[in-house]
A = this chain, B = another copy of it.
Amino acid sequence: MRFFSYFNKFLQSHPSSAKLLVLSSISGGGLVAYADLPSDKEKPSLALEHEGTRKKRVLVLGTGWAGISFLKDLDISSYDVQVVSPRNYFAFTPLLPSVTCGTVEARSIVEPVRNIVKKRNGEVKFWEAECLKVDAVNKEVICRSYVNENLPGKNDFSLEYDYLVVAVGAQVNTFNTPGVSENCYFLKEVEDAQSIRRAVIDCFEKAVLPELTEEERRINLHFVIVGGGPTGVEFAAELHDFVHEDLVKIYPSVKDLVAISLIQSGDHILNTYDERISSFAEQKFQRDGIEVLTGHRVLSVSDRLIDVKAKSTGENVSIPHGMVVWSTGVGTRPVVKDFMEQIGQGNRKVLATDEWLRVKGCDDVYGLGDCTTVDQKKIMEDISAIFKAADKDNSGTLTIEEFKDVIEDVTIRYPQVELFLQNNHLSDITDLLKGVDGNEREEVDIEEFKLALANVDKQTKSLPATAQVAAQQGAYLARCFNMREKCKAEPEGPRKFRSGGRHEFRPFRYRHLGQFAPLGGEQAAAELPGDWVSVGHSTQWLWYSIYASKQVSWRTRYLVVGDWTRRFVFGRDSSRI
């Protein structure tokens, strides 16, 4: 515990220390640099909009990373803030895999929403209910509380809003694979992690019963994980540790019958990570005896069997299992789907926002986190307008000087430009204008300009569905809300090339702060900013220190660190509660 508190204190007393900022800002499995995000300093109480004296009503749907991050930073003296979520707590989801095996207790990673959003200068109203429908025309949402329905009083209610923030997250995606919803465990909610914990114990309790054949015992103890992303991999590692550090001691008779398999459709596990991490993980799992089946697609899951197809050979195999944990991708929630139909996004898969996180096709509605995707404007759509705006002398050609004039606005508005430069090892945006022969040109005409930028849009990437993205979006949007009045008067955003004038705000820009992958046995892998990769025991300690520092409250920090200590000293508990 001393190490963590030391680390924490150090972080707090040296907030600007460059090196530590790197450490404290990288984040794993989507962990976000909560305390360090900007916008804290710039909270003027200017946003009060007079309409009579009524404050504008902001309604937030969801209390995950995006919603809570927004609420933490929002200046509620200027708004009348209401929050609706079916869970009255915020869960520190990157620790969910640890909860599955009791390394950390469920209650150590949750904090009541009301505690988090308690503010000195006003009250945030919270209701534990699910949003059933967004009515964008009448600017209201229909909600239903699933709190014990026997209790007297209406369960349904509707709320009106001036601004709506949709941050309801995503749901599990079964890709319509038959039998998955009925026969698999998931790992998205706190309750899921608790169920998995009980189910693992169940498999062991069943496997040691008297009248089973050895084959039956072996099947009961075959744990299958579908999905080789960070969550699946971390769960496999946790489970391996739980079994080999704790369970074999108290279920000695079946210790040689346990098997863990990880099924991944891609060619490698952790394929969103650096290659070095991916292969380190595969090697570690091989040494640990965790079977990794890459290039296999799941066809169906029944209560006893999981059918998979090897992509290379086309061969189908039925594998008997004790339990299957399904951890692949995310899908859209029905309420979002319905909302998308209303606003003409029915043919899309995910709710689209513009770069300012405003939902496309609907005023005053914002979208954050896993339920949304940011639709990056293509530079080629605006290419003529950019050319025209830059060509001040209306000569029909663009000089380097003229181009330099718009460069800043272009890179802010179209971040793919910077990515393109990076990936093509171009040091300067003006390099773009060089001729095919590599020599600088005095001027380019519109066709040459288009040609130069033709491949830029291919760099557009959609953001991953991680806590890191969600939390940065929440903080960004809170800042926009806080600065609304100020930026209306003095826009700070880039030039509007088509219509003239400037955008009020800079568009949202995701800063990837790195990611972790704990691999069990006190080893972890991490991608750090600047293309650094770090693996091994020291990385696990880095993980401990950063996850401890990133906790949302001192209470959860105390509990999480206490849990880790307890685990080191006493192991994990296997009581089935």
Contact = CB atoms under 8 A, between A and B. Distances in A.
A569 interface: yes
Interface string A154-175: 1111010000000000000000
A127 B208 contact: yes
A489 interface: no
Interface in A476-525: none
Interface string A165-207: 0000000000000000001000000110010000101110111
Interface stretch (A24-32, A105-113, A325-333, A387-395): A105-113
Given A153-B211, A202-B151, A569 B558 contact: yes
A518 B128 CA distance: 33
Interface stretch (A212-220, A272-280, A284-292): A212-220
Contact of A576 (B87, B127, B183): B87
Nearest to A322: B151
Nearest to A105: B107
Interface stretch (A50-58, A142-150, A434-442): A142-150
A461 interface: no
A558 to B, nearest CB: 6
A570 B557 CA distance: 11
A155 B219 CA distance: 15
Nearest to A565: B558
A159 B576 contact: no
A418 interface: no
A575 interface: yes
Contacts of A303: 150
A106 B210 CA distance: 30
Contacts of A137: none
B304 A152 contact: yes
Interface in A558-577: 558-559, 562, 566, 569-570, 573-577
A190 to B, nearest CB: 5
A190 B148 CA distance: 20
Nearest to A194: B577
8 contacts: A88-B574, A89-B576, A127-B209, A129-B209, A151-B206, A191-B577, A555-B566, A555-B573
Interface of A: 87-89, 105-107, 110-112, 114-115, 118, 127-129, 145, 147-148, 150-157, 159, 183, 190-191, 194, 199, 201-203, 205-213, 216-217, 219-220, 250-251, 303-304, 320, 322, 554-555, 558-559, 562, 566, 569-570, 573-577
Shortest beta-carbon contacts, A-B, top 5: A89-B575, A153-B212, A153-B216, A114-B250, A555-B570
